[in-house]
Amino acid sequence: MASAFDYALPFDIMVGYWVGAASVYSRKGSYVMSTKSFVSVYWEKRYQKLSFRESAEDEYEFTGAANNYIDTRKVDEKEIAAQIGSATPRAIHGGALRVLTFDLDVNGPFCTGQSGPVTLDGRQTRPDAYQFHLKKIEESGQTHHIYNSHHLPSPDDWHIIGPIVGPIKGEEGQVGLAVVQFFRRISYDVPRATVRRLK
């Protein structure tokens, strides 16, 4: 496992395999629910395209076999492309309740991305902090905004907090739910099975 991360290189500190929990609270602060999830973040095109793959509730089984992992900061990008384009994707254990996937176009400290009806932009605000804005337009035309503040106080800890803002009983711009997430790094490399196209 390599750990030579440079905080000053935007978004690189996020690369790796993470496990964590998200807790959801109502707009008045009442606890609603929690979920566990695994997150893979890898460079599809080094320092230009960052891929984010999150699966909730144990979609992936953790194993320590070295050949099941790939360090996207070191391998040839052709290997990443071959994995993404594989006609026979590797087996995935279990089933996820939800999957959140993004490919982010990175331009220095700024990034943009889209996954289905959700668009995203983000920025590095200091070496260990990022802000993201996600926007989802429903079929009804109503728009929900998700604002996330990301803090990485150490290379192995990732904290995310932010509200979901949108139409609540017809009222625009009010906080609906607040989401708090804590992730811990499992590996600096990501499981090969998580290197895949957007769903």
**Structural domain of residue 96, as residue ranges?**
12-194
For the chain, how many structural domains are there in total?
Answer: 1
Q: 84 lies in a domain? A: yes
Identify the pLDDT of residue 194. 87
pTM: 0.80
**Mind listing the pLDDT tens digit for each residue in 144-192?**
889 999 999 999 999 999 998 876 555 667 778 899 999 999 999 998 8
Q: 6 lies in a domain? A: no
- The rounded distance, in Å, linking the Cα atoms of 127 and 118 is 26
Q: 60 lies in a domain? A: yes
**Mind listing the pLDDT tens digit for each residue in 119-142?**
999 999 999 999 999 998 878 777
DSSP E strands: which ranges in 116-170?
Answer: 118-126, 129-137, 143-154, 157-168
Integer Rg of the chain from CA: 17
Q: 7 lies in a domain? A: no
Q: Is the pLDDT of residue 12 over 80?
A: yes
Q: 2 lies in a domain? A: no
H-type helices in the chain, by residue range?
Answer: 77-84
DSSP E strands: which ranges in the chain?
Answer: 16-26, 31-45, 49-56, 69-70, 99-107, 110-115, 118-126, 129-137, 143-154, 157-168, 171-187, 190-191
Indicate which CATH number applies to the domain containing 148. 2.40.128.20
